[in-house]
Chain A
């Protein structure tokens, strides 16, 4: 009887806790740098920067938002926000296929101190989350980067956890490594050694997962390695 009661309590709790938001992954354009995100909005997960013909560098960023509406209604709100900004144009370019499902592609035009800017923004809704990828370049460079932005947008995929998209062997390798992280680290020297091992593992064993995935894994691992020092 007691067991039944415990089971009836644990199972719904497990279902609630296991339905966490998937991790959005995408392949940033090759050779682009990860942006220093000191002054970015909290909804921006990451940004990448390329090299343009002017001081205005082409960029791609990923934002997420918890929502409770359909894609159609969300787009309506997005349109209002953009058109409510002086000197900004917004256009719905239609459906867009990604590895995470069908999204919507839009085009935004605005002005900056460095000249007119053209952006592509792709929005995918999954569950109660909107995943928003935005690519921006100065208008004169736009044709050069349009294809790059589209390719990046197409690569958007949602993973159950950081390692779920890895081949089985590598998945096990990473999970084993992570399960040992943070366990009884004796001193700073050992901590540094573990951090070095993690970097080596990420770079050597999973280059195909792309820069963004590598950053997420390094961030996750570093938090585990240095978790006890952060609480001191």
Chain B
């Protein structure tokens, strides 16, 4: 009986693990420290390109940040 209860609990825990865990997983890079290198390179790229979306401007435009196949708009607001 106890075993059965434990089995049910573990099974439930197993299937609910990762709830809302939709963040991109870290990847092993080909060269150690590569992400830090990309971090600084992309910081410069971002700063020069200067494309951003203000959350207060309209949260629906955040669809543009979400890659999917639903045909969501990709409205950009440049500055």
Chain A: residues with CB nearer than 8 A to chain B?
3-4, 6-7, 10-11, 13-14, 17-18, 20-21, 23-24, 31-45, 47-49, 51-52, 55-61, 63-67, 69, 73-74, 77-78, 80-82, 85, 108, 110, 112-114, 117, 119, 121, 123, 129-130, 132-138, 161-163, 175, 178, 199, 202-203, 211, 214-220, 222-223, 226, 229-230
Rounded to whole angstroms, the CA-CA distance of A137 and B66 in the bound complex is: 27
- CB atoms of A199 and B24 under 8 A apart: no
Rounded to whole angstroms, the CA-CA distance of A24 and B6 in the bound complex is: 32
- CB atoms of A63 and B7 under 8 A apart: no
Residues of A contacting B18 in the complex (Cβ-Cβ under 8 angstroms): 17, 20, 161
Residue in contact with A36 in the complex, picked from B11, B32, B52, CB distance below 8 Å: B52
Q: Nearest chain A CB to B12's CB is how many angstroms away? A: 10
6 contacts between A and B (CB under 8 A): A3-B7, A37-B65, A55-B48, A56-B48, A64-B26, A67-B28
Residues of A contacting B65 in the complex (Cβ-Cβ under 8 angstroms): 34, 36-37, 215, 219
- CB atoms of A36 and B64 under 8 A apart: yes
Rounded to whole angstroms, the CA-CA distance of A55 and B35 in the bound complex is: 26
- CB atoms of B66 and A219 under 8 A apart: yes
Chain B contributes a number of interface residues (CB within 8 A of A) equal to 59
Q: Nearest chain A CB to B13's CB is how many angstroms away? A: 6
Q: Nearest chain A CB to B46's CB is how many angstroms away? A: 4
